[in-house]
A and B are shown apart, each in its own frame.
Chain A
Amino acid sequence: MDLKKVKSKNPGWNFTQKISKKASKSVLDSATQSNLDIDSYHNKYVTQVKKKKAVTDSADDQPKLDDKAWKMLIKTSSAQNLTDFTEDPKTGFYDAEGNEVASQG
């Protein structure tokens, strides 16, 4: 995924990178770390969910998205300043063509 394509498809925005990509040690020390993986969630609730609702589509049955080609970027406030007020930077997800497919909010 080319940042130039993202910029050309999203002309009013600036993009940046988060300086620190991990929580600080003091925050990590204070937080409780999960010991779960994706299967733990499925295994815990699958029987209960199927009992209540006729769920036939498990995670494996769902169509796979083309997310390997996506990129997560941080979009800062509008370069054109077309805002009522200053906004926080927001995370966006961009496909191979530079289109925003998903984002914060």
Chain B
Amino acid sequence: MNEPKPSPPAERRDSLGRFDNLVFVTCTAKLRENIGRTETEEMIAWLRAIPHTRFVDLPVPKDAAEAAGEFRKSLSNDTRGVVIIGGYDVLPALQLNVLSEKMLNDIENDEASQGEEWDRDDFIVWSDDIYGDREGDLLPEFPVSRIPDGKSATLVMNALKAPSYSIAHKYGLRNIKRPFAEEVFKAVPFKADNLLEVSENCSPKTMNAKSMKGAIYFMLHGHANDATRFTGELGSRDGYYEAFDIFNVPEICQGSVVFTGCCYGALVALPKADRMEAGLKIRARTADQSIALAFLEAGVSGFVGCTAAHYSSRIKGQNFFGIPMHNSFWENIAEGMAPAEALFQAKMEYSVKMPHGLTKEIYKAVEVKMLHQFTCLGIGW
């Protein structure tokens, strides 16, 4: 028997234009170094021609806190969202240690948390949310998205001009050991084609890139030092299996929104946050080095993912760590929200429901990390 199809997304519930009340922000002095002087001027002219938006050009900042502090003056009550233009070497992301002293003390005083392993990233993540944080409490009031330049004016302009997503199609690819993704995928809105492939039943050599459009969902392993591939696992044996390669990203993928439950899926520069220290240089990735940036160059309107390790349940029917974010995001897309808006709303919902039934203090900290590390790349609107 066929399952009932989810309802199509609702029409926008307000009368605002797509970009109305968005604030675009960059540091042109740095952006010029990456994409060229003329190209930067052309981009600014294009942005200034969009009605009912603001463009803010910040001086070269010392760090994210300084940049966001200066930028905060440009946010107002009618701001709807913030779009950062440029990579971490243009406007820095915040290197956030999500463990407050209180949370650290709670872990140390929690008997059940003793003798546990520690997070792979030492609970330190890159986050852009500080640019939407008007109150200065590290929790944003506005959705934030970022178009990393990838050293390419073409990438920036393709991402800026990306059309809104359409939900005529959906495509997904999951690790064979992550059956919960079946449930998530059912909630992804669609009208016509839908295909959820399973790794190891498919591989980069067999997948059909033509199916990859509309709502796109990946639940796979990602890697900090190699952003050109996602992996699955072997079904009946123990080991990993290559699932998706950067060459599988379609050359043109307009009208699409991508959500990834993959470790480091949205890590657009190195070092990862727990390796960054004074004096180290940020090394920004390009569209040849990052699946996320390849999708932006191909014209997706949003690419949502994590800047550090993502955790999820292997068991169907569970709803903790990354899974509530997956569910909320697609529910919000189904309601007609833009990708940046849908992630922001999902993060607020996640915040309210933390710790999703978990009782160990260290696992609660993992959830806090999950919350901060999800980010929206692309125009997001």
> Which positions in A face B, CB cutoff 8 Å?
10-13, 17-18, 21-24, 26-38, 40-42, 44-46, 48-49, 52-53, 55, 57-59, 62-65, 67-68, 70-74, 77-85, 87-88, 90-91, 93, 100-105
Closest beta carbon of chain A to B206's beta carbon, Å? 14
Could you say which of B225, B242, B274 contacts A23, with CB atoms under 8 Å apart? B274
Interface of B is mostly: loop
B352–A42 touching, CB < 8 Å: yes
Tell me, in angstroms, the Cα distance from A82 to B220 when the chains sit together.
Answer: 18
- Chain A residues with CB under 8 A of B115: 71
Could you say which of B223, B238, B357, B368 contacts A88, with CB atoms under 8 Å apart? B223
Counting CB contacts under 8 A, is B98 at the interface?
yes
What's the tally of chain B residues with a CB closer than 8 Å to chain A? 79
A83–B240 touching, CB < 8 Å: yes
- Chain A residues with CB under 8 A of B224: 88
B223–A31 touching, CB < 8 Å: no
Tell me, in angstroms, the Cα distance from A102 to B117 when the chains sit together.
Answer: 14
B120–A104 touching, CB < 8 Å: yes
> Which positions in B face A, CB cutoff 8 Å?
64-65, 94-103, 106, 112, 115-120, 122-124, 137-139, 175, 178, 220-225, 231, 234, 237-242, 261-263, 273-278, 309-315, 318, 320-321, 345, 348-349, 351-360, 362-364, 368, 371
Could you say which of A21, A24, A102 contacts B277, with CB atoms under 8 Å apart? A24
Tell me, in angstroms, the Cα distance from A23 to B100 when the chains sit together.
Answer: 14
Given A12-B237, A23-B274, A41-B100 contact (CB < 8 Å): no
- Chain B residues with CB under 8 A of A80: 237-239
A102–B312 touching, CB < 8 Å: yes
Q: Counting chain B CB atoms within 10 Å of each CB, which of A29, A34, A53, A68 scores highest?
A: A34
Closest beta carbon of chain B to A48's beta carbon, Å? 6
A64–B359 touching, CB < 8 Å: yes
Tell me, in angstroms, the Cα distance from A98 to B112 when the chains sit together.
Answer: 17
Tell me, in angstroms, the Cα distance from A6 to B118 when the chains sit together.
Answer: 18
Tell me, in angstroms, the Cα distance from A36 to B221 when the chains sit together.
Answer: 29
A74 to B, closest residue via Cβ: B117
B277–A30 touching, CB < 8 Å: yes
A84–B242 touching, CB < 8 Å: yes
